[in-house]
């Protein structure tokens, strides 16, 4: 046999290290564990309610009592963080978004209920006005424009109300300028020294958020798009400047969002800043995998595991994913 003038055998056989499950285990560079997972859940009014989200098969909106059950289940599975997103009754959506800092709004009630139940899980909350805004935007709208500084003042009140309710991690997902510094200052001034900020620093104006907007009931309200505050998917250097800014203003951890189409950003962030870096595998990414799986076009189970491992390989310390409980069950059962 001939290797075109070379030695009659390959000089390097990479396949040696892929020959068996044991050897592959031995040389594997990355691992996925339950400790890498943050589980986003949707909270709604009522009692005993678990209402399916049509565009996200397997995902439900839960009333507060069911959220407590979910938090207990997550803790038992070894998931370290649960992240709350409210589905606000349309009658509570206003121009001034005052429900956002109501100490008894859905998100704060769910936080207190999980705390009161004594469940050992970290609670993360979302800061942005869209669940409470009659205009569906993350900030105040005036004359078709999103107001930055006025919005930051409101976001600070929202963040403080979440801290008082007992959250551990605040996740500002609004993309206004200056909000991390403003929140950090007010948290410190009010004695919330240990509350962590996970900044959605590189959040893109993405088509992959569609199912989420249905899940929180924001799609009907939203006029126009979010391109004047969320990032252009064409940009990467800009993400570096945003991360640098948010870290300098007091962010403890940073997030890239969406996830799978933005793994290059995750890699750049991790290499450049070496800080705790997270990605959000958003609703549209989840829906794509579930829809293809339901049609029998891909193996959903394997696609879920592969997609999550790829976040780790890209440099992420963890992933926000709607798959969290399902993948935790798989990881726990081997
Ligand atoms: C809004 C917010 C969005 C998501 C999380 N927080 C949607 C948006 O920016 O319109 C999307 C999450 C997902 O798609 O899973 N503050």
pLDDT tens sequence across 82-97: 999 999 999 999 999 9
Is residue 226 part of the annotated active site? The answer reads no
pLDDT tens sequence across 199-240: 999 999 999 999 998 888 877 788 899 999 999 999 999 999
The two beta strands, 60-63 and 50-52, are: antiparallel
**255 contacts 200 by C-beta, under 8 angstroms:** yes
- Short-list 225, 220, 255, 259, CA closest to 131: 220
ipTM of this predicted structure: 0.96
Active-site residue among 112, 257, 270, 312? 257
Architecture label for domain 34-333: Alpha-Beta Barrel (3.20)
DSSP code of 17?
G
212 lines ligand 1 (CB under 6 A): yes
What does pLDDT average to over the chain? 96
132 lines ligand 1 (CB under 6 A): no
Residue 253's pLDDT is 98
The pTM of this model reads 0.96
Closest atom, ligand 1, to C-alpha of 283: 15
Q: Scanning the structure block, which residue is given the tokens 């505050």?
A: 229
Share of the chain above pLDDT 90, in %: 93
Is residue 270 part of the annotated active site? The answer reads no
- Ligand 1 centroid to Cα of residue 215, in Å, is 10
């Amino acid at each position: 046999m001939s290797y075109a003038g070379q030695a009659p055998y390959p000089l390097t056989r990479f396949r040696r290290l892929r020959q068996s499950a044991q050897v592959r285990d031995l040389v594997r560079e990355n691992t996925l564990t339950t400790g890498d997972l943050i589980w986003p859940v949707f909270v709604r009014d009522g009692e005993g309610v678990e209402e399916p989200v049509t565009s996200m098969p397997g995902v439900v909106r839960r009333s507060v009592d069911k959220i407590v059950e979910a938090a207990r289940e997550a803790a038992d599975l070894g998931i370290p963080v649960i992240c709350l997103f409210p589905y606000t009754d349309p009658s509570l959506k206003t121009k001034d978004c005052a429900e956002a800092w109501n100490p008894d709004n859905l998100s704060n009630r769910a936080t207190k209920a999980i705390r009161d139940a004594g469940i050992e899980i970290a609670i993360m909350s979302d800061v942005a006005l869209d669940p409470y805004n009659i205009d569906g935007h993350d900030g105040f709208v005036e004359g078709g424009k999103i107001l930055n500084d006025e919005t930051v003042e409101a976001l600070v009140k929202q963040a403080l109300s979440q801290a008082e309710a007992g959250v551990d991690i605040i996740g500002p997902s609004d993309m206004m300028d200056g909000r991390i510094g403003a929140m950090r200052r007010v948290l410190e001034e009010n004695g919330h020294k240990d509350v962590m900020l996970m900044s959605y620093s590189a959040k893109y104006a993405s088509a992959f958020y569609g199912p989420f907007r249905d899940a929180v009931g924001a799609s009907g309200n939203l006029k126009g798009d979010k391109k004047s505050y969320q990032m252009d998917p064409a940009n990467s250097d800009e993400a570096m400047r945003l991360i640098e800014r948010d870290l300098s203003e007091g962010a403890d951890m940073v997030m890239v969002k969406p996830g799978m189409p933005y793994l290059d950003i995750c890699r750049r962030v991790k290499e450049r800043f070496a800080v705790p870096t997270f990605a959000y595998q958003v609703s549209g990414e989840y829906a794509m995998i579930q829809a293809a799986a339901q049609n029998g076009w891909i193996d959903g189970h394997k696609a879920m595991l592969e997609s999550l491992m790829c976040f780790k390989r890209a440099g992420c310390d963890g992933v926000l994913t709607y798959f969290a409980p399902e993948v935790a069950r798989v990881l726990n059962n081997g």
